[in-house]
Chains A and B, each alone.
Chain A
């Protein structure tokens, strides 16, 4: 399976996700933001970090890069796109995913491990997780507070577009387990066609027992199943 990790000025987690992809035997290429065209690829990954320093609005300036047009085409054709953290923010700014990511409710950067309920396994990113399985992944962000209007939220729930929700270690979803104030504890969402996933937690950081867990591995394994 071929993957392309897009590198923007200020991306930090490009190497991390490339290492994860290579670990799982993806044929990976790093693609500079200023290229006009994507190489032939099955999966496009927008990595975490602080593209353009998060200046103006997070993900905004990256979403105006040359490579974005080709990424949008890839997504509209049904190609797979995974946006992690800043990558999720960029997907929102391009319009490929709906909603907005606001400043964390407590106005502070949060770096910790959180529990997530895998809400939708009928998609290519989560197929190897169990339905409603509770997993652990790290978050590290300042603007992870997913917000949208009630109608859009209802649409997400009705169309089963929510991939992950913040929960406690027993799988219980409540405001106590919500680290950043996200509507409905949303931690990751899919587009309607379910080929594009945006998520705030970092699966690429939990692929090794020595790093305190492997729940991230399952996401990469799901993608490989194809």
Chain B
């Protein structure tokens, strides 16, 4: 089973990279860009067919490793 997880900074946490990308896009002429937040994308392949078990495993992986829970959130997409 292939699952993807997207890790993003929590709202209210400063995103220095997103801020600079946003400004650069404006400088490049993309006038209608309002805001940019930068995150990370993970693709995880699990040897697991039971979707409930897979869901639990991915949640654990995100919480224990992929996410710095002090400043980040995550969302999961099941393919």
Q: Which residue in A52, A56, A61, A64 is a CB contact (below 8 Å) of B38?
A: A56
Is A56 a contact of B20 with CB atoms below 8 Å?
Answer: yes
Q: Are B24 and A64 in contact (CB under 8 A)?
A: yes
Which residues from chain B contact A64 at a C-beta distance below 8 Å? 24, 27-28
CB pair A55 B16 closer than 8 Å = yes
Bound form: Cα–Cα A64–B30 in Å: 13
Q: A56 — which chain B residues lie within 8 A by C-beta? A: 17, 20-21, 24, 38
How many A-B contacts are there with CB distance less than 8 Å? 20
Contacts of A55 in B (CB 8 A): 16-17, 20-21
A53 adjacent to chain B (CB < 8 Å) = yes
State how many angstroms separate the Cβ of B28 from the closest Cβ of chain A.
6
Place the interface of chain B in its size category.
under 10
Contacts of B28 in A (CB 8 A): 64
Q: Once the chains are docked, how many angstroms separate the CA of A137 from the CA of B17? A: 31
What separation, in Å, do the CA atoms of A55 and B24 have in the docked complex? Answer: 11
Mask, A45-80, CB within 8 Å of B = 1, is 000000011011000010010000000000000000
Please measure, in the bound complex, the distance between the C-alpha atom of A52 and the C-alpha atom of B28, giving whole angstroms. 15
Tell me, rounded to whole Å, the shortest Cβ–Cβ distance linking B23 to chain A: 9
Indicate if the CB atoms of B24 and A61 lie closer than 8 Å.
yes
**Nearest-Cβ distance from residue B35 to partner chain A, whole angstroms:** 15
Chain A residues contacting B24 (CB-CB under 8 Å) are 52, 56, 61, 64
Q: Chain B residues near A52 (CB, 8 Å)?
A: 20, 24
Using a CB-CB cutoff of 8 Å, which residues 18-57 of chain A contact chain B?
Answer: 52-53, 55-56
CB distance from A28 to the nearest CB of B (A): 27
Closest to A9 in B: B20
For A66, give the chain B residue with the smallest CB separation. B27
Distance in Å: Cβ of B37 to nearest Cβ of chain A: 13
- Listed in ascending order, the chain B residues whose CB lies under 8 Å from chain A are 16-17, 20-21, 24, 27-28, 38
A-B contact list, 20 entries, CB within 8 Å: A52-B20, A52-B24, A53-B16, A53-B17, A53-B20, A55-B16, A55-B17, A55-B20, A55-B21, A56-B17, A56-B20, A56-B21, A56-B24, A56-B38, A61-B20, A61-B21, A61-B24, A64-B24, A64-B27, A64-B28
10 more A-B contacts (CB under 8 A) besides A52-B24, A53-B17, A64-B27? A52-B20, A53-B16, A55-B16, A55-B17, A55-B20, A55-B21, A56-B21, A56-B24, A64-B24, A64-B28
